[in-house]
């Protein structure tokens, strides 16, 4: 099956002349000339950009996702290619209305006319995994205007085949390339597969949407549609219909009176809020999934759509990332280097001073420059070269975050090329770090742990006695008993210190009020 899929990929690449497009990047031009000579019968009517987009559509959802990410990198692509790939964001050819209605009937066990008061069989958006139709709920269900997302038929088999091929390629890459093991291609593919399969369960997407809506409840920066759970299944998702202007239509936004500079700054704040406050972020933020509200009540706020891919971060990941971002913004390259070594991402024998100097050489030139003068693609390439030199390991759990950062940069370029990303993000990160350390963080930690201490402290004598009794039945356990007694005494001293600190903290708290 994998060989058949590989053959199909090579066949499609040849049909659309992708081999020739790639080989044309070789400076001498000889390889491209050889390719044209070997494929002398090929004639192409469409320009290269159109052929690239058509090839990605023919290859399926994984390759469409790849094209979506590329479409936001206008600093790395020719304008014609970027414009054509942008059509992959929400203009993938739809499946037929008959199939859509059949999917609805399979999901509910009854036709669409019995589920919805109105249903528009013509899709309003079509993407790689699903397509969206507008509808209205029946009066007994509230009569709300809704957007109905319907999963493409037979998606599991298509994605399974592509992922199997990617896994094979990852194994080959790991064995054949000197850098392969360090880059962890199999782990990266496994992480990508997890997110892709999550996209195929629309109940999971509905839960993601609901969580993000709750995280930004009351926010003036971001709107998230309400989910109508009674109408949701694994293959059909029903949510509130949102109205706005696609964020890619900057001329229409300006005509509607939206401040693009303020919008770009709000986008940075939304991203960092999701990552560092919540540890839960929208990881598919290409322009096709982001609208801007222009109604009087929400004018200028973002509207998030399509929640199939979200990223999550642990507290350790958030703390590590925040330290690195803040150190970058403060140009504290020594702290960046030591943070990598302390986290185990760089080998323990790495010389921090050499690593610091290499990071400084990459990052120093980009500070104090507007976004339109910075190519993060080239910066990432140089960071990649630096990480290879120092054997820094790629962290698969952060792959989606890296992808989202690239999308954020693409959006920032479209809205406000003069955005100073550093100055916009630094105050937010400083505020977040101050909440993680210091008096407020300690106070919050004490409040969170107080119920556990109150429940555990009275039980300690009994728990220690039970442990000693169990251990006393075992032969030659005198050293264990001695260690338990010493541990008990240490715990008692520690508990006394904690109780004293808690008393002082509470006294200060009440005196403050």
The residues annotated as belonging to the active site are 284
SS3 content of the chain, % helix, strand, coil (to 5): 65, 10, 25
Q: Is the distance from CB of 49 to CB of 83 less than 8 angstroms?
A: yes
Decide: helix, strand or coil at residue 251: helix
Q: How many residues does the chain have?
A: 513
* 3-class DSSP assignment, residue 247: coil
DSSP β-bridge partners for residue 310: 282
Q: How does DSSP classify residue 91?
A: B
Query: SS3 of 151, please?
Result: strand
Q: Which residues contact 227 (CB under 8 A, 6 or more apart)?
A: 206, 209, 210, 213, 237, 238, 239, 240
Phi/psi at 444 (5° precision): -65, -40
Give the separation between CA 210 and CA 145, rounded to whole angstroms. Answer: 18
Going from the C-alpha of 7 to that of each of 3, 4, 11, 458, the distances in angstroms are: 6, 5, 6, 69
- Give the DSSP letter string of 422-465: HHHHHHHHHHHHHHHSSHHHHHHHHHHHHHHHHHHGGGHHHHHH
Hey, what's the torsion of the CAs at 192, 197, 76, 424, to 10 degrees? -80
Q: In whole angstroms, give the CA distance from residue 134 to residue 101.
A: 13
């Amino acid at each position: 099956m994998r060989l058949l899929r590989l053959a199909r990929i090579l066949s499609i690449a040849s049909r659309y002349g992708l081999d020739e497009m790639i080989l044309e990047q070789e400076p001498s031009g000889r390889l491209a000339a050889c390719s044209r000579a070997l494929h002398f019968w090929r004639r192409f009517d469409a320009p290269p950009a159109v052929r690239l987009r058509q090839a990605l559509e023919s290859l399926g959802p994984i390759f469409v996702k790849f094209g979506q990410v590329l479409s936001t990198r206008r600093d790395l692509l020719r304008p014609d290619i970027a414009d054509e790939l942008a059509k992959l964001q929400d203009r993938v050819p739809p499946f037929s209305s008959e199939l859509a209605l059949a999917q609805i009937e399979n999901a509910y066990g009854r036709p669409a006319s019995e589920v919805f008061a109105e249903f528009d069989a013509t899709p309003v958006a079509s993407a790689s995994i699903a397509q969206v139709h507008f509808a209205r709920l029946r009066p007994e269900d509230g009569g709300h205007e809704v957007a109905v997302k319907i999963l493409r038929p037979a998606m599991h088999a298509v994605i399974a085949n592509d992922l199997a091929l990617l896994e094979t390629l990852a194994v080959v890459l790991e064995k054949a390339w000197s850098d392969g093991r360090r880059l962890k291609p199999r782990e990266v593919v496994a992480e990508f597969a997890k997110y892709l399969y999550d996209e195929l369960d629309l109940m999971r997407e509905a839960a993601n949407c609901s969580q993000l809506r709750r995280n930004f409840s009351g926010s003036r920066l971001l709107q998230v549609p309400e989910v109508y759970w009674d109408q949701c299944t694994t293959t059909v998702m029903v949510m509130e219909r949102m109205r706005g202007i696609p964020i890619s239509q900057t001329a229409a936004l300006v005509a509607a009176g939206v401040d693009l500079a303020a919008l770009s700054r709000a986008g940075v704040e939304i991203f960092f809020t999701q990552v560092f406050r919540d540890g839960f972020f929208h990881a598919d933020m290409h322009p096709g999934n982001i609208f801007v509200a222009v109604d009087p009540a929400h004018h200028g706020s973002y509207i998030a759509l399509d929640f199939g891919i979200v990223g999550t971060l642990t507290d350790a990941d958030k703390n590590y990332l925040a330290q690195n971002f803040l150190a970058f913004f403060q140009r504290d390259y020594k702290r960046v280097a030591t943070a990598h070594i302390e986290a185990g991402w760089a080998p323990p024998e790495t010389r921090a001073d050499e690593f610091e100097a290499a990071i400084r050489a990459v990052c120093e030139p980009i500070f104090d420059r507007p976004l339109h003068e910075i190519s993060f693609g080239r910066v990432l390439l140089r960071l990649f070269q630096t990480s290879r030199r120092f054997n820094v390991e790629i962290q698969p759990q952060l792959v989606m975050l890296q992808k989202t950062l690239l999308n954020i940069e693409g959006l920032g370029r479209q809205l406000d090329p003069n955005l100073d990303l550093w100055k916009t993000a630094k105050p937010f990160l400083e505020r977040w770090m101050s909440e993680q350390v210091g008096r407020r963080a300690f106070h919050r930690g004490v409040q969170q742990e107080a119920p556990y201490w109150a429940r555990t402290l009275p039980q300690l004598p009994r728990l220690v006695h039970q442990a000693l009794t169990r251990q006393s039945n075992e032969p030659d356990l005198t050293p264990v008993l001695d260690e338990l007694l010493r541990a008990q005494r240490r715990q008692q001293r520690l508990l006394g210190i904690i109780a004293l600190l808690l008393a002082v903290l509470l006294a200060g708290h009440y005196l403050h009020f």
